[in-house]
Amino acid sequence: MANRTAIAAKTVELLNAMRAARPLVHNIANYVSMDIAANALLAIGASPAMVHAREEVAEFVAIAGALVINIGTLSASWVDSMKLAAEAAGRNAKPWVLDPVGAGATRLRTDTVKALLPHRPSIIRGNASEIMAVAGGAGAAPKGVDSANTTEEALAFAVSLAKHQRCTVIATGAVDIVTDGERVVKLANGSPVMAKVTALGCALSAVTGAFAAICPDPFDASVAAVGVYGIAGELAAAATTRPGSYRVAFLDMLETVGPENVTASLKVTD
Amino acid sequence: MANRTAIAAKTVELLNAMRAARPLVHNIANYVSMDIAANALLAIGASPAMVHAREEVAEFVAIAGALVINIGTLSASWVDSMKLAAEAAGRNAKPWVLDPVGAGATRLRTDTVKALLPHRPSIIRGNASEIMAVAGGAGAAPKGVDSANTTEEALAFAVSLAKHQRCTVIATGAVDIVTDGERVVKLANGSPVMAKVTALGCALSAVTGAFAAICPDPFDASVAAVGVYGIAGELAAAATTRPGSYRVAFLDMLETVGPENVTASLKVTD
Amino acid sequence: MANRTAIAAKTVELLNAMRAARPLVHNIANYVSMDIAANALLAIGASPAMVHAREEVAEFVAIAGALVINIGTLSASWVDSMKLAAEAAGRNAKPWVLDPVGAGATRLRTDTVKALLPHRPSIIRGNASEIMAVAGGAGAAPKGVDSANTTEEALAFAVSLAKHQRCTVIATGAVDIVTDGERVVKLANGSPVMAKVTALGCALSAVTGAFAAICPDPFDASVAAVGVYGIAGELAAAATTRPGSYRVAFLDMLETVGPENVTASLKVTD
């Protein structure tokens, strides 16, 4: 387990660097999350763009700081664009984040994730069951795991997937896990109220892209994004727990959250 | 006219049952309403999913508790998916709600509704003019009705459409009508402020899906959904009447509204 | 420079006329802006519709008061619909507004704008760099301008584009420029906080359509839209500067802003 002080210091450094750079984050997002993801990126200090046409995604990836692909509301033509964009990210050495929404729920989702993984995402962010589904589909399910119910199981899948893909994996839940297959950090910030607002997981993937854009190590970028986001979630939950009000407060806190909050509140757990 | 006390009691029962079950509601929604519909479903206690690809809609209907099809922002490929999903709902005996947004305004909308009606929606929810257009297009316009202007006329169309389609019809307005062709309930909850926020009608269709998912009688489910939704609208209007603030307050109240509000405030009218 | 008193009086007249008429504004919007654009139109007193299918756009333009085409989230099939709608606007003598989001950033955007310009938009609204890119692509770049960095340069491009296209051009920024190639009005309302909320520029284009729907002179309509919108932005910034809260306050103020605010606060500058 890495040192809490060192993690907090790195997170503060990356938050400051990201806000100074104001990176352009190219999202191929889902229809539900576009509004909140764009607003979350603006609030935390990055610059969002939502671009999905096959005729322009490759061109746009080249001018963006990072790419975020979210498979929430798929259709065949969007899958084509996702592949082209992921390929362009590789060609241009841009970091990219995969959010495998609903992986495992339908064949289309499983197949889309399979088609995207060879393009080597820098970071994969999902909830526990999505990460387990992606790991299983990639042939990276750890041995001897039969049930999908515990955090420890999600952890094993996340580590195995990260090793297999040589990427960073974020599995979010009550405790958020970040791993690159070697290192593991568990963060316990956030609030159950976050689940009352749609697409806050998708918006975290977008925010992770903002940190990846300015940090050569996707693992450090992921830890920083998850930590800052969770602390903003806690600050908002201290203000309100109602779903409509919470969405407003959360965006406010993404702007407000600062180095002093990270230093005081980052919860690294075992 | 059914008994107000019995209707309120049934509505309380269904609200409690829906929140206990937290049904998965599969929406083929329009682009404008996706965010508010998903957040409304979360706020009232259900679980939303927005899935529209023709490759996966049938598969997803099978795992959902109910399907909601909204034709607000149509295109040809989405119409294909709507037909496949509606057909799958029939095959899997899942209740489904049709929201015929803008029916009658263009040929594409009229044709799309005509193509969907044979797949037997459990519930059709629209405003008065949409319901009249659907009834007319289905050959279910009542005789002797020449004008589209009075509530009584919308009522006659709604009853005729419900009989013809053997489904439940909800016509929303200052007074909301729910009918299965035999029974008619008129509810007078809600607030004019609701019209200041886009897609609150679409979000009601989504919420109706949540009640239909846990109640074998689409008529009872519809009365409960309309009643609870309207009471939340009143509670929010007591807090604010400004459009931005109202949207926030309304989502808050969808979570807050409870059995005691239904018992105290449900307005069944003649 | 036109007289401030006369401009304020005209703006008040058009604001009252627009609210009395409640025009139907047909938007082919981008996915990110649909929610906020529809809610902004409702809040200011117009009636929004989002309709993009190639099978129905021409039919819908004929019943709308104005058309707004926003190229924010393009794809090939949407470009087809945009052309059909723009053509129908010409045929039906309906005013239409072009929002060339990201013009110059990719070839698809440049090509789409080029394909739409011959359909003669009544108004083109963009930020300074978008207007400069559109002017350049249309062969309307003023001579001797090499840099894209100053307001005066954007002004020259805007005037040249307006003359070349015989339309009104709005270039928004810290100072907003409205020109029809002969007349120029510079408005200094608004707030830097507006940039914290995604798609507020897109929503201004939609609101401009509402004014164009009820005013035969696109130049006057544009000045009124920009002025009222900017004043609402200031009123909201007086209430809050946080991004989530600001979005809510801004929609509230779009409803609240009235003739007395225009008379008191419209800032016409040199």
Question: Do residues A36 and A197 make contact, with C-beta atoms less than 8 angstroms apart?
Answer: yes
Chain C residues whose beta carbon lies within 8 Å of the beta carbon of residue A31? 31
Q: Is B255 in Cβ contact with A198 (below 8 Å)?
A: no
Which of B72, B76, B196 lies at the smallest CB-CB distance from C55? B76
Q: Is A30 in Cβ contact with B53 (below 8 Å)?
A: no
Chain A, nearest residue to C34 by Cα: A35
Q: What is the pLDDT of residues B114-136, one digit of tens each?
A: 999 999 999 999 999 999 999 98
Is residue C28 over pLDDT 70?
yes
Other chains touching A, judged by 3 or more CB pairs under 8 Å: B, C
Within a domain: C113: yes
Predicted-complex ipTM score? 0.94
Average pLDDT over residues C77-100: 97
Is residue C146 over pLDDT 50?
no
Q: What is the largest CA-CA distance in chain A?
A: 46
Q: What is the pLDDT of residues C157-200, one digit of tens each?
A: 999 999 999 999 999 999 999 999 999 999 999 999 999 999 99
Chain A residues whose beta carbon lies within 8 Å of the beta carbon of residue B249? 244
Query: How many Å apart are CA B243 and CA C252, to the nearest integer?
Result: 6
Distance from CA of A100 to the nearest CA of C (A): 20
CB atoms within 10 A of CB A263: 13
CB atoms within 10 A of CB B99: 31
Domain count, chain B: 1
Structural domain including B61 reads 4-269
- The pLDDT of residue C139: 75
Question: Can you give the three-state secondary structure of chain B, one letter per residue?
Answer: CCCHHHHHHHHHHHHHHHHHHCCEEEEECCCCCHHHHHHHHHHHCCEEEECCCCCCHHHHHHHCCEEEEECCCCCHHHHHHHHHHHHHHHHCCCCEEEECCCCCCCHHHHHHHHHHHHHCCCEEEEEHHHHHHHHHHCCCCCCCCCCCCCHHHHHHHHHHHHHHHCCEEEEECCCEEEECCCCEEEECCCCHHHHHCCCHHHHHHHHHHHHHHCCCCHHHHHHHHHHHHHHHHHHHHHHCCCHHHHHHHHHHHHHHCCHHHHHHHCCEEC
Within a domain: C28: yes
Tokens standing for residue B225:
């959904």
Is residue C12 over pLDDT 70?
yes
Q: What is the pTM of this model?
A: 0.95
Calculate ∠ Cα C172-C178-C180, nearest 5°.
140
Is residue C138 over pLDDT 90?
no
Chain A residues whose beta carbon lies within 8 Å of the beta carbon of residue B38? 32, 198-199
Name the band, by pLDDT with cuts 50, 70 and 90, for residue B206: very high
Name the band, by pLDDT with cuts 50, 70 and 90, for residue C39: very high
Q: List, in order, residues 6 or more apart from C241 with CB less than 8 Å away.
A: C193, C196
Which of B248, B254, B256 should one mutate to test binding to chain A, selecting the residue with the greatest count of A CBs within 10 A?
B248
Chain C, nearest residue to A64 by Cα: C105
Q: Give pLDDT tens digits along chain A (270 positions).
A: 459 999 999 999 999 999 999 999 999 999 999 999 999 999 999 999 999 999 999 999 999 999 999 999 999 999 999 999 999 999 999 999 999 999 989 999 999 999 999 999 999 999 999 999 999 877 777 755 444 455 667 899 999 999 999 999 999 999 999 999 999 999 999 999 999 999 999 999 999 999 999 999 999 999 999 999 999 999 999 999 999 999 999 999 999 999 999 999 999 998
Q: Is A256 in Cβ contact with C244 (below 8 Å)?
A: no
Chain B, nearest residue to C250 by Cα: B244
Chain A, nearest residue to B251 by Cα: A244
Q: Is A49 in Cβ contact with C102 (below 8 Å)?
A: yes
C142: domain CATH number is 3.40.1190.20
Chain B residues whose beta carbon lies within 8 Å of the beta carbon of residue C254? 243
Average pLDDT over residues C103-126: 95
Which of A54, A55, A255 lies at the smallest CB-CB distance from C243? A255
Q: How many helices and strands, by DSSP H and E, does chain C display?
A: 11, 9
Q: Is C42 in Cβ contact with B108 (below 8 Å)?
A: no
Question: Do residues B72 and B30 make contact, with C-beta atoms less than 8 angstroms apart?
Answer: yes
Chain A residues whose beta carbon lies within 8 Å of the beta carbon of residue C36? 35
Chain B, nearest residue to A105 by Cα: B60
Within a domain: C78: yes
Which of A31, A106, A243 lies at the smallest CB-CB distance from B60? A106
Within a domain: C66: yes
Q: What is the pLDDT of residues B62-71, one digit of tens each?
A: 999 999 999 9
